[in-house]
Amino acid sequence: MTNKTYGQLCPIARSLDILGDRWTLLLIREFLLGPKRFKELLAILPAMGTNRLSERLAMLVQNGIIQQVARTPSSLPAYELTDLGEQLRKPILALGSWGLKLPIDERIDPTSARAELIALCLTSAGDPKASAGLREAYEFQVDAEVFHIQVNDGSLLARSGPSAEPVAVRVQCDMATFLALVQGQDTPARALREGDIKLLLGDRQAFTRMFKVLEYKP
């Protein structure tokens, strides 16, 4: 397939040749959370439609940004970022950090919020000193969503689904509680005491530490 091009000998223009079409960056956003199948992507971004989704995926494969991978030998193939695609993590999360500062447009549907996307942006927006020296994982059940965050000495990685590795903390809450805690508008102690959040696994010390790691202060 032939990509559109700005026809300019400029690294920014060349990047936009691949990433500038509508929906493309949102697809990359989903792959930052881990491998995704075609049907999963379509469920997340239904307005794309099957034809446009197929075209975008083929373009990203052609340009070496994503590749097909089998989750298990018998499962349908999924797509994941290549090493080249993974290099987009920092610039895209920088856009997310910038977006956290923007007011909410009245045309945006508030029910479209996903806790794992907020967590994804928090992995680059929080204070890295809060997780310095830590190597552990946290798992969240926020309404119907399940995702986890891997902490590795100041570096945070958000991933869709449950953790395949042992976790230090597993919690359950609703979206309003999750937002209040990561924005510092509520305290973990109060939320736990009042039952707004349930500690399914881990001790209170790790529970409190987790929200220190994730807390966002504009």
- Give pLDDT tens digits for 194-214: 999 999 999 999 999 999 998
Question: How high is the pLDDT of residue 97?
Answer: 86
- pLDDT tens-digit readout, 136-193: 999 999 999 999 999 999 999 999 999 999 999 999 999 999 999 988 899 999 999 9
Question: How high is the pLDDT of residue 109?
Answer: 83
How many angstroms separate the CA atoms of 38 and 68, rounded?
11
Decide which of 4 and 19 is more confident: 19
Backbone angles phi, psi at 154, to 5 degrees: 90, -10
pLDDT at 73 over 80: no
Question: How high is the pLDDT of residue 175?
Answer: 95
For the chain, list the domains and their CATH numbers.
Answer: 11-99 (1.10.10.10), 113-214 (3.30.1050.10)
Q: Global pTM?
A: 0.91
Q: Which residue has the tokens 């509520």?
A: 186
pLDDT at 71 over 80: no
| DSSP type of residue 129 | G
Is the Cα torsion angle 39, 43, 47, 48 positive or negative in sign? negative
Helix residue spans in the chain (DSSP H): 11-19, 24-32, 38-44, 50-62, 83-86, 89-99, 115-125, 175-182, 188-193, 204-214
Judge whether 153 and 131 are in contact, CB under 8 Å: yes
Which among 10, 98, 17 is positioned nearest to 63, based on CA atoms?
17
pLDDT at 2 over 70: no
